[in-house]
Amino acid sequence: MPDFTDNLKPRYDGTATLQAERDASSINVDELAKHLLSRNGFLERQQRVLNVLSKEKLFNKDQLLNLSRPDRYYLGLARSKAIQRIGRKLGWDDEDYKMAEYLNDEMSPYHLHTTMFVTTVREQGSEEQKAYWLPKITNFDIIGCYAQTELGHGSNVRGLETVAKWDPERKEFEIHSPHLTASKWWNGAMGRTATHAIVVAQLLLPKQGKAHEYENHGPQPFIVQIRAEKTHQPMDGIVVGDIGPKYGYASMDNGYMLFDHYRVLKSALLSRYVDVSDDGKFTRHGHPAVLYGSLTFVRANIIMHARLILARAVTVAVRYLAIRRQFRDRDSTNEQEDEMKVLDYPTVQIRILPLLATTFALHYTGEYMYMLYQRSRETIEKGDFGPLAELHSASSGLKSLCTMLAADSIETCRRAMGGHGFGGGSGLVLINADYLSKPTVEGDNWMITQQVAAYLIKKMTQAVKNPNNKAKDPTDVLFQTYLQTRSSRTPKTIVSSSGIDDEAIVDAFQWRAADLSYRAYQARVVEKKPWTKLMVQLHNLSRAYSEQILVTNFYSSFETTSSPLSAPTPAVLRRCFRLYSLYTLDTFASSFTLTNAVTAESTYALLDAILELMTELRPHAVKLVDAWSIPDWLLDSALGRSDGKVYEDLYDRAHRRNPLNKITFNPDYRSEEIVLGSGDGGRDLLAKL
Amino acid sequence: MPDFTDNLKPRYDGTATLQAERDASSINVDELAKHLLSRNGFLERQQRVLNVLSKEKLFNKDQLLNLSRPDRYYLGLARSKAIQRIGRKLGWDDEDYKMAEYLNDEMSPYHLHTTMFVTTVREQGSEEQKAYWLPKITNFDIIGCYAQTELGHGSNVRGLETVAKWDPERKEFEIHSPHLTASKWWNGAMGRTATHAIVVAQLLLPKQGKAHEYENHGPQPFIVQIRAEKTHQPMDGIVVGDIGPKYGYASMDNGYMLFDHYRVLKSALLSRYVDVSDDGKFTRHGHPAVLYGSLTFVRANIIMHARLILARAVTVAVRYLAIRRQFRDRDSTNEQEDEMKVLDYPTVQIRILPLLATTFALHYTGEYMYMLYQRSRETIEKGDFGPLAELHSASSGLKSLCTMLAADSIETCRRAMGGHGFGGGSGLVLINADYLSKPTVEGDNWMITQQVAAYLIKKMTQAVKNPNNKAKDPTDVLFQTYLQTRSSRTPKTIVSSSGIDDEAIVDAFQWRAADLSYRAYQARVVEKKPWTKLMVQLHNLSRAYSEQILVTNFYSSFETTSSPLSAPTPAVLRRCFRLYSLYTLDTFASSFTLTNAVTAESTYALLDAILELMTELRPHAVKLVDAWSIPDWLLDSALGRSDGKVYEDLYDRAHRRNPLNKITFNPDYRSEEIVLGSGDGGRDLLAKL
């Protein structure tokens, strides 16, 4: 319905504002985008899949925030099914399907089927099992999930309560849930979608020669049908369902499942690495180290994904805050002067620009992880598992650090955007709700840092024992150098009147990580302190170690003899390196001075240096986020639109796309009627409660 | 439907675990609860109102996370209306209604009517206006909202674009929205509920003697009918509606509104302090300083509310983490040993226990603010507005600090709870979504710190000029002492082998705040640096100043000659004081050493001292959160239940209360049918997109 607001314009034109921002920087956005996003043909694939999905009404994002949680699952399933139909018609490959899930931006009820379920069968199934199951999986004749985590146990897999007991008479396993806390819990796609599950259960075999006594051979994977083919009802002896609404993942049916002496054939045990003979004897064969390899690959993906999440939050913030104006300069005497762009406030810059710099820090380390993974695959295939421990440790620490940085960044950006940041037009509501799972899944961010610290203590112990051993891993080199120069160390000056010393930055991060490792070694190995007492220090150590990796790899990216990037991009990226590094250094200044990495005076100069760097980066901010190439359709953000039509879009969402405005309510408390003229008395609603 | 899971129990009994926790501490919970929550009969009122609401089906919280946003508003309105009917029947007073809204835990569509709308009419209306409007308001014959913020302007009220132009011929105002960004925006209850609004608009009066030229007399409040009485449709010349879904506040209809030369009578201008004569002349009368008084009172309320939000998040976390077990002690050699309680991990304690300590820090400062407010009201009524500036400044800085601490605490607690923290059973999903508005509303947390810094610079300038002036406000005393001892200052040792020095803690926080104030004075007044360049330092100054207030007031609570609390509570609270203080000191160690407040060596000892304090506080954690007396019904948390039935409740929510489990889906991508056997093809869903 037309009205007088149809032709109103915002006071300042957002489109012209963003154009002016772009004109003021000479960064070549296309070139930088290709530099960042060419792996596996990312940019081309993104455009191609986007063209398909964005044209389908089913994938319209308009009403997502207005749907109930049950409707969100319903929609999520409908979309996942449509993606399969579309992809098969267009001949998509695996990467195309992944891109479709990324752009659709919801956890798919098929997600576990196409990842953990198929991977586990492929990696842990015997040749016979693979021949039987893989065609069914690829064909979607069955739909699988991965049932490991339980109500009572997540991180501690060895503590799982579900048991699979061998019945020597019938040559079958009996899967059983002895307690309520044995219930499988959280397992994606299990709630309503899956027909089959990989069930991880404690393998109990009779003790040889002893009746009714069992020996536990630890958690092992079983492939189990959980729902009947035609009716999709749970099999007898299984209770399974969806666990209900969560912070995010509304489209995903995370499930619970319990077993009542549920019997499965011997062939249910995935038996590439373990097996049970017909007379109940346990055997192991092969080396499951390759499993760590795929875990490491998953974590490298998480880092690369984290940088895109960060980039997305920062894209919204930078574009909106470059358009938003509020208050004239406090020192201005010109009453007619325009209000300042909010992004010109240092109090806003300090929340946003270090995060923008962080996107690049994550990028170069993600690339490094892929390279390491590739290299280690080659050595593993030759039977050398040596580099795997270093790779696994680095990937654990980085998973913890990077997902925390990305998760925190969304809320930081949102808050920096003031009122409109709290609105649905921010485009950050759903991404925040979904992404907040990441600090917990795939290894809790605080728990896995303990593994990193254990590795570093082991490495330091070796370095102390054999200071001149031939160093193999980067950590060996770092620790040996540290031990050799320890006695002559003087803290470095990072920032001085002659500028910022980039090599000193890298040195400071490396030194701090090595020194904290040495302190941990001293406390644990020499003084034999209880592990539990040291946990906080060890967590801090893992963070310092991971920050050192980010800083080192970022710095290494400048070392190529000729940059593939044209001016001024290399210089701008170097400022990003400095900003990320100095901002991190400032946040943990005390840790850097404690370890003699830098002088205390040097830390007092950091804030001014950071403010100066931000002033230098500010003109390039819009083009830097442009380079991350997040499509408007994915952003789904009025504030972050690439064309700057912030206020037009916010108004359109409110005035033309809000179903609540189609209903007239009765606000008079004397009447029980809620919708005016309906005489309903709220009965429909009460039925839902 | 009964099934084999009905009689399953969790492996560890949560109820017995919490009982053991409570038995292990001799804190008198009732006594501490009364100490914390007696103001205005809080505890008695909470119980009384809880008894009423929790029995009504309409207020059942079970399905909240499963409702769509339109349904949430529908429910919010139904509940608000019911509360009015119940309250009138039971003769509730204002505090009872507030308690009902607190326990119902949703922003009410009547909220603005009973707060800003009525307060503005009462404080800014003339006697005649009050006589006309207040009975209608009290009687809910009209329902009001407060329309100040616009699409383009929030913090900068002077930049509002809506105009109210005086028409000298018809003696009326014409309210008009010249741009799209002039649209009123965010205004609570305006979207669907309100019949009337206080509209804040730039008052334009004709320049005397000049035709068609107008003078702007700044933003002024007008009371305006926005919807017709019977039809509840917008008045002609007004476009008004709900802005759509947001992060939180689903039950509230935040609105937008534009005016097309909308005419209102002269009497629409609230004219206690300003008026326009019939011949278009502007007059001011009276002193509107009292308005700052009520703003200050609102902010004292925000601090007291923030402590309850913190308490709520910490209650859930402490109870759940005391029950949750994961991993045996790494150094344990006993294979049969129970897994550790997660709350016994220092890596978990360091996230939760400082927040528990913070609840008390906020409490004593909230009490102090009420006392100051009361005292300043008395002097204001005598015509002395002197103490108002100090009170306003303190309340601004504290609003910023306390709402940030509380907002961040929810996510910190959630993340510390691992997987189940991400589930709906945490009880933190909705409170987080709603509370995240607080860092922005009632003065953006970063923006208002600039006002605090401006005040401190002014005070320091006065202190430098007149070092022996009779000090009036606490800040005068602080700054004069600082200036007198500045030259002889030596940094203090907080933690040493002889223990923790509480007086040195208070001194360090005060010294740091004063020194940062002096640096700000030096940069701004002496070196005349641009304000904008100093903003980050000034923000940090405000935080330091506010932290000093929290520490000082917490410490003062120990100074009464005899504590009203029995042992061991006073000693436990002192440990909370130390933990809050040392944790804050450690976080900003660099700022404390820079200002010569403490020695660098002293900061290196902080972590060990913090770990030790946490070990001492750990046995009292459950009873300390018990004392905050958050009802289970309000917590609505499986994890935070006072009876410890964590797993039973999680399972009940999933298995018995989840509507998604009543539907059987068709997961086969080859079929467009979504609900199995319905042949629906997703048509119902597509209609909602």
Chain B residues with CB under 8 Å of A247 CB are: 414, 422-424, 426, 429
Task: Say whether A154 and B650 touch across the interface (CB within 8 A).
Answer: no
Short-list B353, B366, B325, CA closest to B412: B353
Q: Is A259 on the interface with B (CB under 8 A)?
A: no
Question: Which among B654, B668, B675 has the least Cβ separation from residue A244?
Answer: B654
Chain B residues with CB under 8 Å of A55 CB are: none
Residue B184 near residue B162, CB atoms below 8 Å: yes
Q: What is the pLDDT of residue A290?
A: 64
Q: Tell me how far the alpha carbon of residue B286 is from its chain's centroid.
A: 32
Q: Got the DSSP string for A440-509?
A: TSSS-TTTHHHHHHHHHHHHHHHHHH-TTS---SHHHHHHHHHHHHGGG--PBP-EETTEE-HHHHHHHH
Neighbours of A435 (CB within 10 A): 23
Provide the residue count of chain B: 689
Q: Is B291 on the interface with A (CB under 8 A)?
A: no
- Is it the case that residue B581 has pLDDT exceeding 90? yes
Chain A, chain B: beta-carbon pairs less than 8 Å apart: 446
CA–CA gap between residue B87 and residue B45 (Å, rounded): 13
Question: Which among A242, A248, A439 has the least Cβ separation from residue B661?
Answer: A242
Superfamily of domain A115-286, CATH level 4: Butyryl-CoA Dehydrogenase, subunit A, domain 2 (2.40.110.10)
Residue B38's pLDDT band, with cuts at 50, 70 and 90, is: very high
Which one of B58, B84, B181 would you mutate to disrupt binding with A, by most A Cβ within 10 Å of its Cβ?
A: B181
- Is it the case that residue B55 has pLDDT exceeding 90? yes
Which one of B193, B422, B527 would you mutate to disrupt binding with A, by most A Cβ within 10 Å of its Cβ?
A: B422
Cis peptide before B568 (omega within 30 of 0): yes
DSSP label of A116: I
Task: Say whether B180 and A648 touch across the interface (CB within 8 A).
Answer: yes
- Is it the case that residue B684 has pLDDT exceeding 90? no
Question: Which among A10, A66, A346 has the least Cβ separation from residue B68?
Answer: A66
Chain A residues with CB under 8 Å of B668 CB are: 81, 140
Q: What is the pLDDT of residue B561?
A: 65
Question: Which among B149, B180, B326 has the least Cβ separation from residue A419?
Answer: B149
Residue B152 near residue A648, CB atoms below 8 Å: no
Residue A686 near residue A680, CB atoms below 8 Å: no
Predicted ipTM > 0.90: yes
Superfamily of domain B292-625, CATH level 4: Butyryl-CoA Dehydrogenase, subunit A, domain 3 (1.20.140.10)
Task: Return all residues near B284 (Cβ < 8 A) that are at least 6 apart.
Answer: B273, B274
Residue A525 near residue A457, CB atoms below 8 Å: yes
Q: b/e for B124-136, b at 16 or more Cβ within 10 A?
A: bbbeebbeebeee
Q: Is B89 on the interface with A (CB under 8 A)?
A: no
Question: Which among B330, B607, B659 has the least Cβ separation from residue A531?
Answer: B330
Chain B, 354 to 393: residues with Cβ < 8 Å from chain A are none
Which candidate in B123, B339, B442, B648 is catalytic?
B442
Closest CA–CA distance from residue A170 to any residue of chain B (Å): 23
Task: Say whether B669 and A140 touch across the interface (CB within 8 A).
Answer: yes
Fold observed for domain B142-286: Butyryl-CoA Dehydrogenase, subunit A; domain 2 (2.40.110)
Task: Say whether A243 and B339 touch across the interface (CB within 8 A).
Answer: no
Question: Which among A74, A331, A530 has the least Cβ separation from residue B531?
Answer: A331
Short-list B359, B323, B369, CA closest to B344: B323
Helix (H) or strand (E) holding A414: helix A386-416
DSSP label of A33: H
CA–CA gap between residue B219 and residue B270 (Å, rounded): 12
Q: What is the pLDDT of residue B534?
A: 97
Chain B residues with CB under 8 Å of A326 CB are: 153-156, 159
Report pLDDT digits (tens) over B611-620. 999 999 999 9
- For residue B97, give the amino acid letter: Y
Short-list A572, A624, A573, A603, CA closest to A505: A603
Look up tokens 């429910």; give the residue.
B75
Report pLDDT digits (tens) over B135-163. 999 999 999 999 999 999 998 999 999 99
Could you state, in order of their start, the residue ranges of all structural domains in chain A?
Answer: 115-286, 292-625, 658-689
Chain A residues with CB under 8 Å of B344 CB are: 532
Closest chain B residue to the Cα of A437, Cα to Cα: B422
Chain A residues with CB under 8 Å of B225 CB are: none
Q: b/e for A581-609, b at 16 or more Cβ within 10 A?
A: bbbbbbebbbbbbbbbbbbeebbbbbbeb
Task: Say whether B440 and A415 touch across the interface (CB within 8 A).
Answer: yes
Q: What is the pLDDT of residue B276?
A: 96
Residue B614 near residue A535, CB atoms below 8 Å: no
Task: Say whether A330 and B140 touch across the interface (CB within 8 A).
Answer: no
Chain B residues with CB under 8 Å of A331 CB are: 530-532
Report pLDDT digits (tens) over A474-525. 999 999 999 999 999 999 999 998 899 999 999 999 999 999 999 999 999 9
Helix (H) or strand (E) holding B263: strand B262-265
Task: Say whether B62 and A647 touch across the interface (CB within 8 A).
Answer: no
Q: Confirm whether residue A149 is marked as ligand binding.
A: yes
Q: What is the pLDDT of residue B512?
A: 98
Mean pLDDT by 10 residues, chain A (689 residues): 94 97 98 96 98 97 96 97 98 98 98 96 96 98 98 93 96 98 98 98 91 92 97 98 98 98 98 93 81 77 95 98 94 88 97 98 94 82 79 93 97 97 97 95 93 97 91 91 96 93 97 98 98 97 98 93 87 98 97 96 95 98 98 98 98 97 97 91 79
Token pair, residue A513, equals: 């990580």
Task: Say whether A418 and B531 touch across the interface (CB within 8 A).
Answer: no
Chain A residues with CB under 8 Å of B8 CB are: 177, 179-180, 258
- Is it the case that residue B58 has pLDDT exceeding 90? yes
CA–CA gap between residue A540 and residue A449 (Å, rounded): 8
Token pair, residue A502, equals: 């980039």
Q: What is the pLDDT of residue B292?
A: 67
Helix (H) or strand (E) holding A684: helix A683-688
Residue B31 near residue B566, CB atoms below 8 Å: yes
* DSSP SS3 for B163: strand
Task: Return all residues near A512 (Cβ < 8 A) that are at least 6 apart.
Answer: A544, A548, A591, A592, A595, A597
Closest CA–CA distance from residue A322 to any residue of chain B (Å): 13
For the ranges B30-39, B328-337, B428-437, the lowest mean pLDDT is seen at B328-337
Look up tokens 């005899």; give the residue.
B562
DSSP label of A621: H
Q: Is B400 on the interface with A (CB under 8 A)?
A: no
Task: Return all residues near B115 (Cβ < 8 A) that are at least 6 apart.
Answer: none
Question: Assign residue A79 a region: left if phi > 0, alpha if psi is -120 to 50, beta otherwise?
Answer: alpha
Q: b/e for A355-392, b at 16 or more Cβ within 10 A?
A: bbbbbbbbbbbbbbbbebbeebbeebeeeeeebbbbbb
